[in-house]
Amino acid sequence: MKQLVRHINSLSCAILCSLVLCTQSVAGSREQAKRIHDRLAGVPPSAAVLDLMASSIEQGDVTQAAYLAMDNASFYNITLKNWVTPWTNEEADVFATLNDYSATVIGIIRDDVDFRTILSGDVLYIADNSLNLPAYSPNNNAHYQALEDQHADLKAVLQTTSQSTLLGIPSDATAGILTTRAAAKAFFKDGTNRAMFRFTLINHLCTDLEGLKDTSRAPDRIRQDISRSPGGDSRIFNNSCIGCHSGMDPLAQAFAYYNYQYDVDSDPEGENGRLQYNASGQIDPQTGTRVQTKYLINGNNFPFGFITDNDNWSNYWRAGLNKNLGWDESLPAQGSGAKSMGWELANSQKFAQCQVTKVFENVCLRSPQNAQDRAEITNMTGNFRQNGYQLKQVFADTANYCKGE
């Protein structure tokens, strides 16, 4: 009898599962349209938009349906803002205020600008003159705070301008979001500027330094502040420290002329600070060159270490274990300044794959789980690179893939 009951229960479960799977597999165009809109805009569609989206799906044009969903202001004010904001601060706080970093990424996505621009362009997005807002200032975030307080439609009010115009730095010293005021406050403030490089890897190549350790790279560009015998044990340096610093330090040298300037006594959090850049002819009194003082601090830790005297960078990760990041061999493996170094990172296979994976996780509400998911990410990454690095298309493709889950 017990075996019969178990058999009946198993049969019932099988029938129920089959019914559920069947229901999912034949989800109608309206159900798929609503799911796409919910995932992309975060709010239900109006009846008229739902009809248009369903009609597009029935005609086999899911991309058009997705773009109808992305036409909703909430795609920019909610979905993209919440997606981008954690990149703008070390704590990855999704509730941080809108700023020039997050607004610029949102604007670049809205305008279908080549997404590689976020690491190299002379670009900045501010609100247009239709709103009664404080003017953009390189010294505070009042412009964007007011924009957020008014719940302004970011899709409608953002307009493009240049960092070189508003931040007072040369165009060849701009590097997309890396040289925004918000990024400077978060990652150039104090420290040694390695934070800017590390969080660029985390946010835009989806990997932390631990995942890039390679002790086979030459240590000749590791700065003086890194002890070669931490705790009196050289094995720690040779088997651990060198793995990150041998690749990071020659790349982070691109930021040698940058700092975040603020009054540490009256404004310890740096709320009213600004990006500082030593342009040609500007000499740091401590270093005697354009290099910021922070690059030479703690020089007594290892006096024979590398002394930074310019912003020339080299990519030691073009060879060794990290060659698998997919570097663009048509580019030189070295250069000067943040702009060219950002372009080096943005043209890697890993950069493109990272953006696609983050969109997948945002829209599908899960990480890739199986071979099918991974194959789809590979396919979308290829399309992303071949079609001008337009990220809205990635959102549309991902919504299509997850519309029937």
- Compute the distance between CA of residue 379 and CA of residue 91 in angstroms, rounded to an integer: 32
pLDDT tens for each residue of 31-67: 999 999 999 999 999 999 999 999 999 999 999 999 9
Segments in 218-348 forming alpha helices (H):
234-236, 242-252, 337-346
Do 145 and 101 meet the contact criterion of CB atoms below 8 Å apart? Answer: no
330: Cβ contacts below 8 Å, ≥ 6 apart: none
Task: State the CB neighbour count (10 A cutoff) for residue 350.
Answer: 20
The identity of residue 344, as a single letter, is: E
- Compute the distance between CA of residue 308 and CA of residue 221 in angstroms, rounded to an integer: 9
Q: What is the pLDDT of residue 133?
A: 96
pLDDT at 209 over 80: yes
pLDDT tens for each residue of 187-205: 999 999 999 999 999 999 9
Q: What is the pLDDT of residue 29?
A: 94
295 phi/psi in degrees, rounded to 5: -75, -10
pLDDT tens for each residue of 367-386: 999 999 999 999 999 999 99
Q: What is the pLDDT of residue 405?
A: 55
What is the pLDDT averaged over residues 279-299?
A: 97
- Compute the distance between CA of residue 65 and CA of residue 49 in angstroms, rounded to an integer: 9
Mean pLDDT (the chain) is 94
Q: What is the pLDDT of residue 26?
A: 52
pLDDT tens for each residue of 72-86: 999 999 999 999 999
Instruction: Give Cα separations from 164 to 82, 103, 344 (angstroms).
Output: 27, 17, 21
pLDDT band at 2 (very low <50, low <70, confident <90, very high): very low
Closest CA to 216 of 306, 317, 312, 315: 317
pTM confidence score: 0.92
Write the secondary structure of 121-160 as one string of H (helix), E (strand) and C (coil). CCCEEEECCCCCCCCCCCCCCHHHHHHHHCCCCHHHHEEE
- Compute the distance between CA of residue 58 and CA of residue 67 in angstroms, rounded to an integer: 15
Q: What is the pLDDT of residue 404?
A: 83
Inter-axis angle of helices 242-252 and 194-204, nearest 10: 100
Segments in 128-287 forming alpha helices (H):
142-149, 154-157, 163-166, 181-183, 194-204, 234-236, 242-252
pLDDT band at 1 (very low <50, low <70, confident <90, very high): very low
Q: What is the pLDDT of residue 6?
A: 46
Task: State the CB neighbour count (10 A cutoff) for residue 9.
Answer: 10
Domain ranges of the chain: 27-71+348-405, 192-256+291-340
Closest CA to 248 of 304, 290, 187, 196: 196
Q: Which residues pair with 275 in a beta bridge?
A: 260
pLDDT band at 12 (very low <50, low <70, confident <90, very high): very low
pLDDT tens for each residue of 88-124: 999 999 999 999 999 999 999 999 999 999 999 999 9
What is the pLDDT averaged over residues 331-356?
A: 98
